[in-house]
Every structure is written in C-alpha cells, then in structure tokens.
A and B are shown apart, each in its own frame.
Chain A
C-alpha cells in the first residue's frame, strides 16, 4: 500500500492553502524560539546570572511538552494528512527522547565528574578519573564475572522451561489449572520473593527448605553464606520467577506447530525421543532462539532479588552490576562513579547483545540452508 499512499499524500498536501502552510511553519518556528528562550532564561537563573527565573527546572521540562504540542499542531496545518499521520508516532518519540535519550547523554556528563549528592560541593569534572577507578575496581570485575554466571544459567532455565512446556502440551487433564499454577511465580513481586523465599524459607535455623535439606542428610545447608552456594541459590530463585516466562513462550510455539508434522514423525516409526530431536526440536529453534535472547536481555538487568536477599554478599559473591551500582549510590551517594560504571556496562551490553543477535541470525540461516 505504500506507493499508493505516498502519491495520495502528495495529492492531499497539494490542497493545503499557502496561508495555512505559512501559519503551520510559523507556529513551529515560534514554539521552538519560545522554548529556546525559556531554556536560556532558566540556564541563566540556574547559573546565578539573573534572579527572576523559576526555582526549579520543572517549567522547562513541561515546556518541552508544550513545544511538542505546537510541533504536532504546526505539522498538521503545514502538511495536513501527513501531519495527522506523524501525530501517531511523534508523542512516543518525544517522550522517549525526553526520558531516555536525554538522560542517557546527561549521564555522560555525570560520569566524567566527581559528584557526591550528599556533599555540599556539588559537581566538578574530573575527566577520566572515574574510568581509571573502574578499571582498577575489583568489585566491578567481580560483579561482571557474576553476570556471566547468571546469564549462563539461562540455559538451565531454558531446559527446565522446555520440559514443562512439553509436559503441558501432552494430553493431560486439568491443563488450565497447571498452566495457571506454573505461571503464578512470574507474577510475583521480586521484592516479596526475596523476603519470603530468600530470607524466610531459606532461613538457616527454621526455614522449611533448610529443614527439608537437613532431613535429607545435608548437615549444614548454609545456602546464603557459602559464596558459590549463595550464587547458585540466587540463580535458583531467579529461575523460579522466570521459568514461567520462557515456558509460556515455548508452549505457544509447541501449540502453533501443526499436529500433522508430529503425527508424521510417529508414523515414520520414530520413538518419542527421536521424534523430539529430529522433528520437534528443529521446528522449535526459531521460538527457542527468541525466548533465550529475550530472557538474556532481561537477565542482564537482574538486581531486585540480589539487592533484597543478600545485598551482593557474602563478599560480593552474588553481586550483579546493577546491585553493585545500587549499593555504590546508597552507601556513598557517589553518582559520578556509579554513572560511569552504568554507562560502561551499557556499552558492554550493546556489544554483547549485537553479537548475540548476529550469532542467532547465522544459526537460523544455516538451519534454513
């Protein structure tokens, strides 16, 4: 439909009168000028050059919204139908620019400065000092290596989720009940999970899980105090929350697969296991890939459970990059260094996810060929 529409648009915009066009153009220009003046005024006030501006930057922020309204309106006057069409995406773009793109770049300004929010001295630039500090900071590298472990556990979660999806997809009674029951952990607040499972059920003296482990013959189940065990325990809690997510996606993939293919596999005399590896699994590759990549993307944000269960302990064994930065701020109010770590982490994530997408594309192509 695209070509038709483009020619339609030209025909439609040709009907806009010159007067209306000029009005729209001037509306955008005046709004931009007005907003620039507002920002200038506020900058002068904030730097102490003049004194009659607003007490906070809030008007400048809201002004951006007003400017956005005039931009959309001016576009409609100027371009008519095309302006109306732009109105569909412009609000989302403006919101994202104001709330994501601007703060991310503003973060760079913070990252290159020594800035302690609780001290009175305020911000001053210190160049690459934060970056050098990061390179030498063992706690950061430790957190990063923990992230590799946490991301690797996604494969285990995937295997379990696939198993559960296969179970749910087999001919069973009460499928709806099991599906809801299996989904519920995904709905729960990670903070509540941290406290009621991490701190209560895994409590060393009386938690039901530690009691169970003791009765199974494990004399000293120090789940959250032995470093490697604490890391595995947190990975298990995280898996408990997120397995339903993967299970639902994989189950949808299984259900979308035509029954005929599976029947054909059975008729060919393939046993259940062979049928799975040679028929079901290759067909599920696309869905599996999407599921695992989505899950890894979410896993890279892992924070809440770690912050609330162990605060990164014992000795940083369970720290994730996010929880490390969280504590860095909470303990020291040091936004400069925290932001530098966050921005470096973002760059690492972007590289990692890009490579991951490339790799998955290559695997899919090979599968197709």
Chain B
C-alpha cells in the first residue's frame, strides 16, 4: 500500500470518529434552538434547515426577552446549577485534601497498626474502587434519614468525597512516589517537621498532579446521578437529576430538555478543551508506567 493511500485512510478514519464523537454534542446544542416542528421533522443544520428559535433558553429563563424579567424556571435552574457546583467542588475538594495527605503518608512513611502495613492500607483504599454505588445507596437512604441528612448539601458532599477518594489516592500516590525524597531529607536536616516539609516543599511540586486529580474528581462528581437521584429531592437536587425529571405531562419538550442538557455538559466541555492535559495526566497516573 502506498503511503499516500495510507494517509488518506488514516485521515478518513479520524474524520469519521470525530463526527461520531462530536455530532451528539452538536445535536444537543442545536436542539435547544428548535421548535416542535423542527424536532419532529428531524432537521439538522441551523439556518439552512431550520430557523433558530429562543424556545429552549426561554424554558429556563435565559433567552434575551426573559433574561431581565423575574422567572421561576430560571430560579429553579440556577438553584440546581449552583447545587451541582457546590456538590462537585465540595466533594472533590474534601477528597483532594484528605486523599493527598493519605497518599503522601503512604508514599513516605512505614505504618504498622496491628497486622496492617502500608500495602494493606493502600489496598484498603483502592479496593473501594470496585464497590458499586448501589451497595451503599440503600444503607445511606436509611442512615441519612436517621441522621437528618437526606436532601442536604452536606450529606451529598460527604458521599461524593468518599466516592472519589480512592481515585484521588491512586493518582496522588503515583505523583508523590515520583518525587525523590532527598528533597524532604534536606528539609528535615534543616529542622523542618514532616508536616512542614510536606506543606512547603512537596505540595508545590505535586501541584500539577493535584490539579489533575481535582479535575477528574470534579468531572465524576458533576456527572453523578445515582446517589443524587436517591438521596435528594426538593432542596439539594443537582443538575443531572433535573435533566432526568424533565418529562412533562404532554410528552417531552425537547427544546427545554436540550437546554438543560446543554447546561449540564457545557462546563465540562470547556474544561475538556482547555484542561485536556490535566485530564490525561489524571487518567494515566498510576495506570501507565
């Protein structure tokens, strides 16, 4: 096969997969601007096949004509959006702090507690990766009811922190293992405590890894649906739950569905485009040596 033919085939395959990967995203954004007729006739290309309409954005009070008026749907939408931000930043932040500390400890010191050593403690954390959410969901329902934490932001943040904790520890352990410990040794000789060395010397070096772990954790928390659907109702409901509950009595209003969906995926697409480097770093840390 000549190298030119090969080149063409490679680019054709790349183009095909680009369409497969991006068309659904385009479809989501464009459906926001369609009226019922456009949806039901399967129009695809804006301006050419259908005239963009503010219907979708009006449904969440964000179209130009509703933007500066009072709007109940917009309040509801902003509340859900804000809830999602709180839950994902809170959960990821808590997991990052607790997880980085644990990962650093496990990477640098030898622990021994009864028969437990570092290897066992690491396994204890990582083994939770295989725990399906459904195993915890029912006990949490009952426990949170007793704790008065059902439908509360605090409860949701705690669960999310716990859900991403093994992943954060996995990533950060790899990061700290790659930092030579001569750095702290020097600091310890200079009279620095182990926490001083950790905070002043190691953390700044490990910062890119922490950003990677944080972003990955935020993505997972932002998209989480299972716990949110079971444990929240009126107060702490997040965006994915709002998306899932968009069905009205007269069928689905696709434009408002698409508008809420767009809002749910837009922040992550922005993150994906600008912080791709960190996401790749986070995904590959520990898995690829």
The verdict on B203 contacting chain A, using a C-beta distance below 8 Å, is no
Contacts of A193 in B (CB 8 A): 24
Q: Give the one of A195, A303, A326 with max B CB within 10 A.
A: A195
Q: Give the one of B24, B40, B195, B252 with max A CB within 10 A.
A: B24
Partner of A58, one of B21, B22, B148: B148
Contacts of A182 in B (CB 8 A): 17-18, 21
Contact digits for A152-180, partner B, Cβ 8 Å, 1 yes 0 no: 00000000000110010010100010111
CA distance A187 to B99 in the complex (A): 22
Contact digits for B242-257, partner A, Cβ 8 Å, 1 yes 0 no: 0110100000101001
Contact digits for B7-30, partner A, Cβ 8 Å, 1 yes 0 no: 000110110011011111101100
The verdict on A253 contacting chain B, using a C-beta distance below 8 Å, is yes
Asked if residues A195 and B110 are in contact (CB atoms below 8 Å), the reply is: no
Q: What's the least CB distance linking A347 to chain B, in Å?
A: 10
Asked if residues B24 and A196 are in contact (CB atoms below 8 Å), the reply is: yes
Partner of B257, one of A106, A200, A205: A200
CB nearest neighbor in B for A253: B288
Contacts of A197-243 to chain B: CB distance below 8 A? 197, 199-201, 205-208, 211, 240
The verdict on B134 contacting chain A, using a C-beta distance below 8 Å, is yes
Asked if residues B139 and A339 are in contact (CB atoms below 8 Å), the reply is: yes
Q: Interface extent on B, as a size class?
A: 35 or more
Partner of A117, one of B23, B141, B159, B243: B141
Asked if residues A172 and B223 are in contact (CB atoms below 8 Å), the reply is: no
Contacts of B129 in A (CB 8 A): 297
CA distance A308 to B264 in the complex (A): 15
The verdict on A92 contacting chain B, using a C-beta distance below 8 Å, is yes
Partner of A188, one of B25, B109, B149: B25
CB nearest neighbor in A for B272: A187
Partner of B162, one of A55, A100, A248, A308: A100
CA distance A295 to B219 in the complex (A): 17
CA distance A335 to B129 in the complex (A): 23
Asked if residues A195 and B257 are in contact (CB atoms below 8 Å), the reply is: yes
The verdict on B51 contacting chain A, using a C-beta distance below 8 Å, is no
Contacts of B101 in A (CB 8 A): 87-89, 91-92
Asked if residues A191 and B243 are in contact (CB atoms below 8 Å), the reply is: yes
Partner of A100, one of B136, B142, B252: B136
Contacts of B240 in A (CB 8 A): 189-192, 304
CB nearest neighbor in A for B38: A206
Asked if residues B284 and A191 are in contact (CB atoms below 8 Å), the reply is: no
The verdict on A184 contacting chain B, using a C-beta distance below 8 Å, is yes
CA distance A46 to B283 in the complex (A): 46
Please report whether the interface of chain B is mostly helix, strand, loop or mixed according to DSSP: helix
The verdict on B161 contacting chain A, using a C-beta distance below 8 Å, is yes
The verdict on A185 contacting chain B, using a C-beta distance below 8 Å, is yes
Asked if residues B102 and A91 are in contact (CB atoms below 8 Å), the reply is: yes
Q: What's the least CB distance linking B276 to chain A, in Å?
A: 5
A2-B138 contact in complex given A187-B265, A191-B243, C-beta closer than 8 Å? no
The verdict on B55 contacting chain A, using a C-beta distance below 8 Å, is no
CA distance A197 to B27 in the complex (A): 9
CB nearest neighbor in B for A92: B102
Asked if residues B146 and A167 are in contact (CB atoms below 8 Å), the reply is: no
Partner of B280, one of A200, A252, A297: A252
Asked if residues B14 and A167 are in contact (CB atoms below 8 Å), the reply is: yes
Q: What's the least CB distance linking B152 to chain A, in Å?
A: 10
A188-B287 contact in complex given A182-B18, A326-B226, C-beta closer than 8 Å? no
Asked if residues A199 and B252 are in contact (CB atoms below 8 Å), the reply is: yes
Partner of B11, one of A46, A172, A287: A172
Asked if residues B10 and A167 are in contact (CB atoms below 8 Å), the reply is: yes
CB nearest neighbor in A for B29: A196
A88-B226 contact in complex given A193-B24, A346-B131, C-beta closer than 8 Å? no
Asked if residues A107 and B287 are in contact (CB atoms below 8 Å), the reply is: no
The verdict on B73 contacting chain A, using a C-beta distance below 8 Å, is no
Chain A residues with CB under 8 Å of chain B are 1-2, 5-6, 46, 55-58, 61, 81, 84-89, 91-93, 95-96, 99-100, 103-104, 106-107, 110, 115, 117, 163-164, 167, 170, 172, 176, 178-185, 187-197, 199-201, 205-208, 211, 240, 244-245, 248-249, 252-253, 256, 286-287, 290-291, 294, 297, 300-301, 303-304, 307-308, 321-322, 325-326, 329, 335, 338-339, 342-343, 345-346, 349-350, 353
